Every structure is written in structure tokens, then in C-alpha cells.
Structure 1
Amino acid sequence: MTRDHTVTDQEPWWITNYRGSGPLQRYSHHNLTKTRRTIDFYIRHLGLEPGLTILDLCCAFGRHTRELTQRGFLRAIGVDLSPDMLAHATSSDSVAGQRARFVRADVRALPFGNASADAALMLRSFGFFDTSREDLGVLEEIARVLRPGAFLGMDHFPPHSATTKVGTRVLKGPAATTTVHTTWDPAASRLNSHMSTRYDDGRVDPFRSSSRLYTPEDLGVMLTEAGFTVQGQFGGYDGSPISEDSARCVVIARRV
């Protein structure tokens, strides 16, 4: 029996987890309605207009990149490190007849010139690295490629009773069932998960993840250090204000 990937100690989880066809089967629950609502929000709050160069960082399957392109944002560029995710994004793009652009790159070393982009999105992909200094480096790299005055949109889960809930849960998708055992390390502010996915064809994949959850205040401090000013923080894409009860932190930041 073959597997899409094998978890090893030599490679970080954010590489091993996004190999093969497994991620598509695990995360295929994202629907077009959610994607459109997200893009509606950022078009409004980032002032996006066709003709701008927009980077969709850590784009995975490229659903937000494709939605932007379909709306006439022909200079939107999806960026991801996983060749398998980008292969799917390109394949889906071809089937849909769109002309979305995708680039394989590490978010810590973007292949774009200084001040060459007009806006950037980084959705639910922050806090993956081992140290907060590395996370800050990601924000600094994004700041490097954005022109002064350009906007960054982020979607991050802060420490909250809903996001740090420990225990075991089962997630059932149309083509896979994933069992997730989650622990919370308050000292490191890290959410650690050990997971096992059983696919319809009988394959079983073990994998893990570990991400640091930042409070809205700490994330704001990091953005300031990286060269941004926070223009707004929201509790969701409905535009609700951020509060201590918010299990989500949507951030609009402006490059100084």
C-alpha cells in the first residue's frame, strides 16, 4: 500500500503535510460561497482594483487566486511552496478556463523585487515556524515586496477557548475521515495536533502540525516591527469588531 507522504523528523510538518493528493481530499470542504465572501471582504477593505499586483501567499489550491482572476484581477499571483498544491491549482485553473498565475516559492524568500506588489493576502498560514523570530521574518519579507502604502490582509486564529480546545475529534469529508488529537502548550502558545486520515481507497496517512497562536495585540506589535501599521482588526468576515470573545482575527495592515 502506497502513501502520499510519510511524516519524518527530518522535514517540517508544513512540507510533509502538503504532499500528494491527501490535502485535497482532507480539505475539500471549502466551498465557493466562503471563498467569495472572503474575497468580497478584502476587495472592500484593501481597496483592491483590477490592474493591481496582488499576492495570495501560501495559496495552497489557489481558490482565492482563481476567484480574484475570475473577477478581472489578472495580475493576482498565487504563491506556495508545495509543488503538489500548485499542480492541483494549475490543473483546476485549466479546467475552469481561467488564466490565474501561480509561482512556487518560500514565503521567507519571495522571488519579487522590492516594493513590486500592490497588496498581499496571507490567510490562515501564519505561525507555522519554530520561533517567533522566524514568523516576524515572514512579515518583514512581505513588507519588502509591498510598495509603501500597500495593504496586507491576514486571517489568523488567536488563543481562544474555541481554538485551543484539547481532545480528540473526527472530521468527515466527502473522500476522507480525519481523526485529530489536539494539545495546547500555553507556555509556548502553540497548538499541537497529531492526526490520522483514512481515505476511501483504504490508505491511512499519519501527520502532525504545530502552530503558534498570537493574540491580536501581539500580532499588532509584530506587524509594527515589520514595517506595517494596523488599520483594522475584525472578529470575522462579517465585519464584526475584534473582542476577547473572538475566535478569529482578521487583520488589515498598511505598509509604512
Structure 2
Amino acid sequence: MNTRTLGIVAVALLVVVAVVGGGLWTVGRLSFLDSYGSEYDYTVRVSADEQITNVTIFVPLPVYEGHSEIGAVVESRDYLKPDAWSYDVVETRHGPMLRLRADELPGEPTYHRAVIEDDRLVRWEQIPPEEYARNDSETLRVEHDAIEVNARLTVDRSVDTKSPARTEPVLHPRSNPRAVPCDWPHDSDETQCYSYDSLIFVEYDGPETTRLTVTTELSGTNSWWVGGWNFNEYTDRITVYDLPADQRGWVVVEGELQTGVGNYPRNPPQ
């Protein structure tokens, strides 16, 4: 094979490689764009180690520029939640917050029977304990060690997961932010962590030995599929463990903001 022929073969191979590479890039880019999604998730969980009554709790909400779009879509995923407890967004002197109210957080389990109409489950009705049958799939025992509400909001733009405190909803109220070291495994160069002060409000009737736990968490996430699921996110959380009964009313608590977790593609959708 002469030099001219070798040159032609080499050029042809380069063209094939370029076409195949371009095709793979195009397929990968289409997969990336088709699967790319952005959303916020917000969860609040309250539990007490003893039965309490007349419960009112205010917790921080995700707020951006004084408003909380996420607060508008809060719901309970627990369709067997205790009777006579509710949640709503209220304006306080510290800004909008989520209010949880309950006549009682039961210390004892409740029992329920399935109500079937037109061959489908329509609801569970509460029954006396003696009517519960452990091996009967149409009766159910529910432990009420906590109440939980959630919100999920999808958006048609990328979430800024590196600098959310300036451009995205974060938990409010907040003050005195300060940079802190990140714990493993989120200690990469991209990840930054901050601590700050916030507030919750707590009122209830119950034993002086009661300890209350309140968890509030927000995450903003971008995710996509290219050879597997990929993501980046920021997480803002306030966790109050075993708050003693003598701490009621407005209580100063500590929050933690974690940014830049995950991996970052080139040219994400805006």
C-alpha cells in the first residue's frame, strides 16, 4: 500500500471516528436534555416522646424575596394522620412560617378498617382496639410517634445549587450566617457549608419530662440521565433534638446550609 493510499485510509478513519463520536455526543446530549429536571423538596417532622395536647408549632419556611411558593403546596402524605391537627402558612413578625396545630399527639396507637366502595379503597375509618385483627389485611394499626408534612415543587429552570442563599428559596427566618467545615462525605472543593441562627415557636400541654424533636429540611436538586442518574443539590436543614419541656415560646435554633453537592455538567439548561 503506497503512501497516498495510506493517507486516504487514515483520513477515512478519522472521518468515521468523528462521525461516530459526534453521533454519540448528540445521543448523550439529547438524553441529558430530555431527562434533565429541577425541583425543591421540603419536609417537616415533629415527634414527642410522651403524649401532648393543645400543640402549636411554628417552623421555618423556604422563602425567596419575602414569599414562599413552596409553602403553597405543602401537604400531608399521612392519610391516617391524627384527627384535629392542621397546618397552614401564617405571617409572623419574623416573616412567613408554617404553623402546625394539633389537639393531641397520641401516645397510643390507633386502629383502622378499610372502607371499600366499587372494589376500591376509599378511606380508612377508625375502630376500637378490640376490632383490630393482626392477620386481617383490612384492618390496620398505626403508631403516632410523629406528624409529617411535605411539599414538592418542580421548576422549568436549573436550580442554583452553588449560591442558593442569593438566588433560591432558603429556610427563614435566618441570621448570623457563618462558614463552617463540611463533614465527610460532602467535603469536596465544590461543596460549601454554612451555619446560621433561626427560630421555632413551641407551645403544648404535657408532662414536664416531655422532649420534642422537630426536623425541617429543604433541598433544591437538578438531576439528569447520562449513563446513569446524576445530580447536584443544596440542602438547608434545621434539626432540634429532644427539646426539653421548659423551652417553649420562641426558641433560637441552629440551621445548616450545604451547597454544591454532586456533579456539574457543562452547559446545563438555564
Establish whether TM, by shorter chain, passes 0.5: no
Name the structure, 1 or 2, with higher relative contact order (CA <8 Å, separation 6+).
2
TM-score between the two structures when normalised by the length of structure 2:
0.23
| Greater strand fraction, Structure 1 or Structure 2 | 2
CA radius of gyration, larger in: 2
Which protein is richer in helix relative to its size?
A: 1
